[in-house]
Homo-oligomer: A and B are copies of this chain.
Amino acid sequence: MMVATSIMESVVCSCLCVLVFLGCFISSTESKYIKYNTSSNIVAGKLNVHLVAHTHDDVGWLKTVDQYYVGSNNSIQGACVQNVLDSLVPALLADKNRRFIYVEQAFFQRWWREQSEVVQNIVKQLVNSGQLEFINGGMVMHDEATTHYIDMIDQTTLGHHFIKQEFGKTPRIGWQIDPFGHSAVQAYLLSAQVGFDSLFFARIDYQDRAKRKDEKSLEVVWQASKSLGSSEQIFSGAFPKNYEPPANFYYEVNDDSPIVQDDVNLFDYNVPERVNEFVAAAISQANITRTNHIMWTMGTDFKYQYAHTWFRQLDKFIHYVNQDGRVHALYSTPSIYTDAKHAANEAWPIKTEDYFPYADVENGYWTGYFTSRPAIKGYVRFSSGYYLAARQLEYFKGKSALGPKTDSLADALAIAQHHDAVSGTEKQHVANDYAKRLSIGYTEAEKVVAASLSYLTDAPKAGHQIPQVKFQQCPLLNISYCPASETDFSNGKDLVVVVYNPLGWKSREDVIRIPVVSEYVVVRDSSGKQIQSQLLPILDTFIGLRKYYTAAYLGVSSTVKPKYWLAFSATVPPLGFSTYYVSKAKQAATISDTYTPYKSRNQKDTIEVGPGNLKLIYSEKEAKLIEYINSKSKVKESIDQAYKYYSSYGDDGTQTSQPSGAYIFRPNGSSVPIKSDRKSPLTVFRGPIVHEVHQKISSWIYQITRLYKGKEHAEVEFIVGPIPTDDGVGKEIATEITTSVASSKTFYTDSNGRDFIERIRDYRKDWKLQVNQPVAGNYYPINLGIYLKDKSKELSILVDRSVGGSSIKDGQLELMVHRRLLVDDSRGVGEPLNETVCIHDKCAGLTVLGKYYFKIDPVGDGARWRRSFGQEIYSPFLLAFTESEGNWGDSHVTTFSGINPSYSLPDNVAVITLQDLGDGEVLIRLAHLYEVGEDKYLSAKATVELKKVFHNKQVIKISEMSLSANQERAEMERKRLAWKVKGSTQEPHISRGGPVDPQKLVVELAPMEIRTFIISFKH
Could you give, for residues 15-46 of chain A, a 1 whenever the CB lies within 8 Å of some chain B CB and a 0 otherwise? 10111110011110110111000000000000
> Is the Cβ of A308 less than 8 Å from the Cβ of B18?
no
Chain B nearest Cβ from A881, distance in angstroms: 31
> Is the Cβ of A308 less than 8 Å from the Cβ of B87?
yes
> Is the Cβ of B256 less than 8 Å from the Cβ of A75?
yes
Q: Is A254 an interface residue (CB 8 A)?
A: yes
With A18-B19, A267-B433 already in contact, the answer to whether A309 and B114 are too (CB < 8 A) is no
With A19-B19, A306-B87 already in contact, the answer to whether A114 and B32 are too (CB < 8 A) is yes
Q: Which DSSP category, helix, strand, loop or mixed, fits chain A's interface?
A: loop
Stretch at the interface among A171-179, A257-265, A379-387, A1002-1010: A257-265
Q: Is A861 an interface residue (CB 8 A)?
A: no
With A90-B19, A253-B253, A306-B253 already in contact, the answer to whether A268 and B72 are too (CB < 8 A) is yes
Chain B nearest Cβ from A214, distance in angstroms: 34
> Closest residue of chain B to A117, judged by CB?
B27
Q: Is A757 an interface residue (CB 8 A)?
A: no
Q: Is A73 an interface residue (CB 8 A)?
A: yes
In the complex the two chains form, what is the Cα distance from A33 to B113 in whole Å?
7
> Is the Cβ of B80 less than 8 Å from the Cβ of A32?
no
Could you give, for residues 107-135 of chain A, a 1 whenever the CB lies within 8 Å of some chain B CB and a 0 otherwise? 00010011111111000000000000000
Collect the chain B residues with CB atoms within 8 Å of residue A120's CB: 30
With A70-B263, A261-B72 already in contact, the answer to whether A253 and B305 are too (CB < 8 A) is yes
> Is the Cβ of B72 less than 8 Å from the Cβ of A115?
no
CB contact between A259 and one of B17, B70, B114, B259 (< 8 Å): that residue:
B70
Chain B nearest Cβ from A124, distance in angstroms: 14
Collect the chain B residues with CB atoms within 8 Å of residue A308's CB: 83, 86-87
In the complex the two chains form, what is the Cα distance from A308 to B88 in whole Å?
12
In the complex the two chains form, what is the Cα distance from A268 to B69 in whole Å?
12
Q: Is A64 an interface residue (CB 8 A)?
A: yes
Chain B nearest Cβ from A35, distance in angstroms: 9
With A78-B253, A259-B70 already in contact, the answer to whether A21 and B86 are too (CB < 8 A) is yes
> Closest residue of chain B to A66, judged by CB?
B266
Collect the chain B residues with CB atoms within 8 Å of residue A89's CB: 21
In the complex the two chains form, what is the Cα distance from A73 to B255 in whole Å?
9
Collect the chain B residues with CB atoms within 8 Å of residue A119's CB: 21
Collect the chain B residues with CB atoms within 8 Å of residue A27's CB: 116-118
> Is the Cβ of B268 less than 8 Å from the Cβ of A306?
no
With A87-B308, A306-B83, A308-B87 already in contact, the answer to whether A33 and B115 are too (CB < 8 A) is yes
Q: Is A71 an interface residue (CB 8 A)?
A: yes
Chain B nearest Cβ from A100, distance in angstroms: 16
With A30-B113, A118-B25 already in contact, the answer to whether A254 and B305 are too (CB < 8 A) is yes
With A11-B14, A253-B80 already in contact, the answer to whether A268 and B87 are too (CB < 8 A) is no
Q: Is A74 an interface residue (CB 8 A)?
A: yes
Q: Is A67 an interface residue (CB 8 A)?
A: yes
> Is the Cβ of A18 less than 8 Å from the Cβ of B21?
no
With A14-B11, A80-B309, A308-B83 already in contact, the answer to whether A258 and B72 are too (CB < 8 A) is yes
In the complex the two chains form, what is the Cα distance from A113 to B25 in whole Å?
15
> Closest residue of chain B to A64, judged by CB?
B267
In the complex the two chains form, what is the Cα distance from A268 to B20 in whole Å?
36
In the complex the two chains form, what is the Cα distance from A32 to B258 in whole Å?
40
> Is the Cβ of A255 less than 8 Å from the Cβ of B74?
yes
> Closest residue of chain B to A255, judged by CB?
B74
> Is the Cβ of A18 less than 8 Å from the Cβ of B14?
yes
> Is the Cβ of A113 less than 8 Å from the Cβ of B80?
no
> Is the Cβ of B25 less than 8 Å from the Cβ of A116?
yes
Chain B nearest Cβ from A762, distance in angstroms: 44
Chain B nearest Cβ from A909, distance in angstroms: 39
Collect the chain B residues with CB atoms within 8 Å of residue A114's CB: 30, 32-34, 263
Collect the chain B residues with CB atoms within 8 Å of residue A268's CB: 64, 66-67, 70, 72
In the complex the two chains form, what is the Cα distance from A73 to B254 in whole Å?
9
Chain B nearest Cβ from A415, distance in angstroms: 12
Chain B nearest Cβ from A435, distance in angstroms: 12
With A83-B306, A256-B73 already in contact, the answer to whether A18 and B20 are too (CB < 8 A) is no
CB contact between A11 and one of B18, B256, B433 (< 8 Å): that residue:
B18
> Is the Cβ of A69 less than 8 Å from the Cβ of B18?
no
Could you give, for residues 978-1012 of chain A, a 1 whenever the CB lies within 8 Å of some chain B CB and a 0 otherwise? 00000000000000000000000000000000000
Collect the chain B residues with CB atoms within 8 Å of residue A34's CB: 114
In the complex the two chains form, what is the Cα distance from A64 to B436 in whole Å?
50
Chain B nearest Cβ from A272, distance in angstroms: 15
Chain B nearest Cβ from A5, distance in angstroms: 16
> Closest residue of chain B to A74, judged by CB?
B256
In the complex the two chains form, what is the Cα distance from A20 to B15 in whole Å?
10
Chain B nearest Cβ from A416, distance in angstroms: 15
Could you give, for residues 941-982 of chain A, a 1 whenever the CB lies within 8 Å of some chain B CB and a 0 otherwise? 000000000000000000000000000000000000000000
> Closest residue of chain B to A254, judged by CB?
B78
Could you give, for residues 287-315 of chain A, a 1 whenever the CB lies within 8 Å of some chain B CB and a 0 otherwise? 00000000000000000011011001000
Collect the chain B residues with CB atoms within 8 Å of residue A80's CB: 253-254, 309
CB contact between A115 and one of B30, B69, B263 (< 8 Å): that residue:
B30
With A66-B267, A114-B32 already in contact, the answer to whether A83 and B253 are too (CB < 8 A) is yes
Collect the chain B residues with CB atoms within 8 Å of residue A75's CB: 256
Chain B nearest Cβ from A41, distance in angstroms: 25
> Closest residue of chain B to A23, judged by CB?
B116
Q: 8 Å CB contacts to B: which residues of A755-775? A: none
Chain B nearest Cβ from A558, distance in angstroms: 28
Collect the chain B residues with CB atoms within 8 Å of residue A255's CB: 74, 78
Collect the chain B residues with CB atoms within 8 Å of residue A17's CB: 11
Collect the chain B residues with CB atoms within 8 Å of residue A86's CB: 21, 308, 312
Collect the chain B residues with CB atoms within 8 Å of residue A20's CB: 116, 118
Chain B nearest Cβ from A512, distance in angstroms: 36
Collect the chain B residues with CB atoms within 8 Å of residue A11's CB: 14, 17-18
Could you give, for residues 221-251 of chain A, a 1 whenever the CB lies within 8 Å of some chain B CB and a 0 otherwise? 0000000000000000000000000000000
Chain B nearest Cβ from A126, distance in angstroms: 14
Chain B nearest Cβ from A303, distance in angstroms: 11
> Is the Cβ of B70 less than 8 Å from the Cβ of A261?
yes
Collect the chain B residues with CB atoms within 8 Å of residue A87's CB: 87, 306, 308
Chain B nearest Cβ from A443, distance in angstroms: 15
Collect the chain B residues with CB atoms within 8 Å of residue A256's CB: 73-75, 78
In the complex the two chains form, what is the Cα distance from A304 to B266 in whole Å?
23
In the complex the two chains form, what is the Cα distance from A229 to B870 in whole Å?
93
Collect the chain B residues with CB atoms within 8 Å of residue A29's CB: 117
In the complex the two chains form, what is the Cα distance from A66 to B253 in whole Å?
17
From A32, A67, A255, A306, residue with most partner B Cβ within 10 Å: A306
In the complex the two chains form, what is the Cα distance from A932 to B87 in whole Å?
59
Collect the chain B residues with CB atoms within 8 Å of residue A73's CB: 256
From A18, A117, A266, A309, residue with most partner B Cβ within 10 Å: A18
Chain B nearest Cβ from A905, distance in angstroms: 39
Collect the chain B residues with CB atoms within 8 Å of residue A72's CB: 258-259, 261, 268
> Closest residue of chain B to A257, judged by CB?
B74
In the complex the two chains form, what is the Cα distance from A64 to B17 in whole Å?
34
> Closest residue of chain B to A270, judged by CB?
B72
Q: 8 Å CB contacts to B: which residues of A71-99? A: 71-75, 78-80, 82-83, 86-87, 89-90
Task: Give 21 pairs: A residue, B residue, CB < 8 Å, sorted on A.
Answer: A11-B14, A14-B15, A14-B18, A15-B18, A18-B19, A20-B116, A25-B118, A64-B268, A66-B268, A70-B259, A71-B259, A72-B258, A74-B254, A74-B255, A74-B256, A80-B254, A83-B308, A253-B306, A254-B254, A267-B436, A306-B306
The 7 lowest CB-CB distance pairs between A and B, nearest first, are: A78-B254, A306-B306, A75-B256, A66-B266, A74-B256, A32-B113, A27-B117
Extra A-B contacts (19), CB below 8 Å, given A21-B86, A80-B253, A83-B309: A15-B19, A21-B119, A30-B115, A30-B116, A30-B117, A33-B115, A64-B267, A66-B267, A66-B268, A70-B261, A71-B309, A72-B258, A73-B256, A78-B255, A78-B256, A83-B253, A87-B87, A253-B254, A254-B305
- Chain A interface (Cβ within 8 Å of chain B)? 11, 14-15, 17-21, 24-27, 29-30, 32-34, 64, 66-67, 69-75, 78-80, 82-83, 86-87, 89-90, 110, 113-120, 253-256, 258-259, 261, 263, 266-268, 305-306, 308-309, 312, 433, 436
